[in-house]
Structures are given as C-alpha cells and as structure tokens.
C-alpha cells in the first residue's frame, strides 16, 4: 500500500491523500472510492476513521482518495461565493476527473459521513460516473423536516430521553426528586408532539427532496447504502424524509439501510469504528460485483437541476449520544 499527498482541481487548491495498493493492474484498482469530509472535520475523519477506511480499501485492491472540500482542512477557500451544495458537487466531480487523468479510473464509488453523505448523494444524482455510494449518518435537508429541528443540545437530549433515560431508574428518580432540567424536558416533549402531528398530516405530502433523489438514483440502478448510528437522531430524520420511497427501495433491496446499534454520530468508540469499517468494506465489496450502468455525462444545466433536488442543512456535527435505534 502507498500513500501520496496530492493537489488537484483547476486552481490546484484541493488537498488530498491517495491510498492505493502496492500492486496495480487488478480490475479493482480501476475502481476508486472517494471519501468526502464528515462535516468540517478534515480528511482524516473523526477518530481517524477515514485513514483506517482508506487503508482497508487499498488492502482490498481499491484506490482510495480522501480530500478536503474548499475551506476545510488543507484545501484553500473558494472566492467565487458558490454555495456548499454546488461547490461540493463540483469538487467531487473534480476528484473524479483527477482520478481519471492520473490513474485512468472511470468507476467511482462515493463515501461520506454527515454532510459528506449529503454531497455523495447529490453527486450520484447528477454524475453517471458515480457507480455507488455509502452514506453514513446522512444529513437530510432542512426542507425535508416535517417540523424545523430544534438546537443540537435539545435534539441530543430528546434522543437521550427516548432511548436511554426512559429505561433508566436513576433518571426516573431524578425526575421525581426535582433534579431534572424540566425546561429542557418540556422543550423535548413539545418538539416530539409537534413532529408526530406534522408527520401524520404529511402522509399525503409532496415528495421530499430525499425521496426525489432516491427515485432518480434508483432509476439509474446505482446502489446506495445508508449506514446509520443507532444513537444518532439523524436516523429518525432519514426515515421521515425518505418516507415510502425509502421503505420501498429497502424492501426491494435497491437501497440498503444498515444500523449500527449503540454507536453515536461520530463513532467515538473504537468498537463502533471497527463495526463501521467492516460494514463499509462488506458493502463496497458487494457493489464491486454489480454491473455498471453507464449513461452520457449530464450537461451543466441538467447537473445543476439535479443538484437542486438536494439542499444541505448547515454543517453540524454532534458529539456523543446514546443507545439503540430500531430497524426500518
């Protein structure tokens, strides 16, 4: 395995690391996996998980490129005022072009956590060179929420109450002896009530951005794998925003949803990191055997229209969170 530091893009301003097998020429070395930043954490990823993933993928025979979007890590800031939704896709496509120009690679799988998952799906929507994507703790667009989500600490608290405190004797004792933050508890309950009411009301709603994007990618038969931490509130957001389309695609096997129980948003336990690593390697291995469906490259206007389907929420990463989720 070798690692090389690279600069690419029209201004040579995107910094990344290419990890590749020592021996090239295998079919797999003609496939690359591009890892997109998880939030604003630079290309090593939380807990250095991207480094471990890139090395594991190189050991399996793939070329891995993990790079920083503009303004993150070692990549220079853009000065064209392009929104994240557009610049992320443009830069992901620059990564594909770089791999083609320097390694002759045409098959590319995308992998990203949080907003990196969002950028991966957005790129898969508008670029037919993307032959699969692994989306870790996918961050849904703001517009896809039935009710505007509260601040991060209330969301974390909500998840903690439902999945941990509800079954914990000490927490009940604190509640009954006045040692609980009643203000926060009220905010959490109010948010949940509004969310459940809105969800019922929205059963006949217009398709969300995520549903539209899933439909578009599924029509091209691009395999998608969602990997979610059981302890991350985004799992619930994904189920709500994905709605019936996600359920149907999961049932037909066109989309896979893996839940890692007990893991938090950033996989801050090494056991969870190992679990994630195994899941990612297994899913990428299986994508490798799927036939490639190729279409012509989208025109600029088509690509822009496709990318509009997904709009990112602000970059937010949460710290640790709790306990178990339920499968779809």
According to CB under 8 A, which residues from 138 to 177 bind other proteins? 152-153, 156, 160, 164
Measured in degrees and rounded to the nearest 5, phi and psi for residue 247 equal -60, -45
**Min dist. Cβ of residue 228 to other proteins (A):** 14
Binder to other proteins among 101, 148, 251, 270 (CB under 8 A)? 270
Binder to other proteins among 21, 231, 233, 242 (CB under 8 A)? 231
Please identify, using beta-carbon distances, which residue of 160 and 191 lies nearer to other proteins. 160
Q: Does 94 bind other proteins (CB under 8 A)?
A: no
Joined together, the tokens standing for residue 189 give: 């309950």
Q: Does 181 bind other proteins (CB under 8 A)?
A: no
Q: Does 40 bind other proteins (CB under 8 A)?
A: yes
**Min dist. Cβ of residue 35 to other proteins (A):** 12
Show the binding pattern over residues 54-83: x = contacts other proteins (CB under 8 A), - = does not.
-------------------xx-x-------
Q: How far apart are CA 90 and CA 177, in angstroms?
A: 55
CA angle 309, 312, 315 (to 5 degrees): 170
Question: Number of helices and strands (H, E) in the chain?
Answer: 10, 8
Q: How far apart are CA 212 and CA 229, in angstroms?
A: 24
Q: Which stretch binds other proteins (CB under 8 A): 35-43, 206-214, 235-243, 278-286?
A: 35-43
Contact criterion met (CB below 8 Å) for 109 and 130: yes
Contact criterion met (CB below 8 Å) for 18 and 71: no
Beta-bridge partner residues of 8: 14
Q: How far apart are CA 33 and CA 186, in angstroms?
A: 45
Chain residues that interact with other proteins, rule: CB under 8 A:
3-7, 11-13, 15, 17, 39-44, 46-49, 51, 73-74, 76, 152-153, 156, 160, 164, 230-231, 261-262, 264-271, 273-274, 316-324
């Amino acid at each position: 395995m070798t690692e090389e530091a690279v600069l690419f893009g029209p201004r040579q301003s995107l910094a990344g690391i290419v990890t590749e097998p020592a021996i090239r020429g295998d079919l797999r070395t003609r496939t690359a996996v591009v890892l997109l930043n998880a939030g604003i954490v630079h290309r090593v990823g939380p807990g250095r998980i991207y480094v471990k993933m890139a090395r594991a993928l190189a050991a399996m025979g793939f070329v891995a490129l993990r790079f920083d979007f503009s303004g993150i890590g070692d990549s220079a800031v853009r000065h064209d005022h392009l929104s994240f939704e557009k610049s992320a896709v443009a830069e992901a496509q620059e990564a594909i072009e770089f791999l083609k120009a320097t390694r002759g690679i045409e098959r590319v799988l995308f992998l990203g956590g949080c907003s990196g998952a969002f950028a991966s799906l957005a790129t898969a929507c508008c670029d037919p060179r993307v032959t699969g994507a692994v989306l870790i703790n996918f961050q849904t667009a703001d517009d896809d929420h039935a009710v505007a989500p509260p601040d991060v600490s209330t969301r974390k608290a909500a998840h903690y109450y439902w999945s941990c405190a509800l079954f914990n004797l000490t927490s009940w004792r604190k509640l009954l002896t006045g040692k609980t933050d009643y203000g926060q508890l009220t905010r959490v309950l109010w948010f949940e009530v509004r969310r459940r009411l809105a969800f019922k009301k929205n059963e006949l709603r217009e398709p969300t951005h995520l549903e539209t994007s899933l439909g578009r990618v599924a029509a091209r038969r691009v395999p998608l794998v969602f990997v979610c931490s059981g302890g991350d509130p985004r799992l619930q957001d994904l189920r709500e925003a994905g709605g019936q389309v996600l359920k149907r695609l999961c049932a037909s096997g066109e989309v896979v949803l893996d839940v890692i129980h007990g893991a938090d948003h950033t996989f801050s336990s090494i056991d969870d990191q190992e679990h994630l690593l195994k899941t990612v390697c297994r899913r990428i291995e299986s994508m490798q055997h799927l036939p490639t469906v190729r279409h012509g490259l989208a025109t600029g206007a088509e690509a822009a229209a496709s990318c509009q389907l997904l709009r990112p929420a602000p970059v937010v990463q949460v710290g640790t969170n709790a306990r178990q989720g339920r499968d779809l």
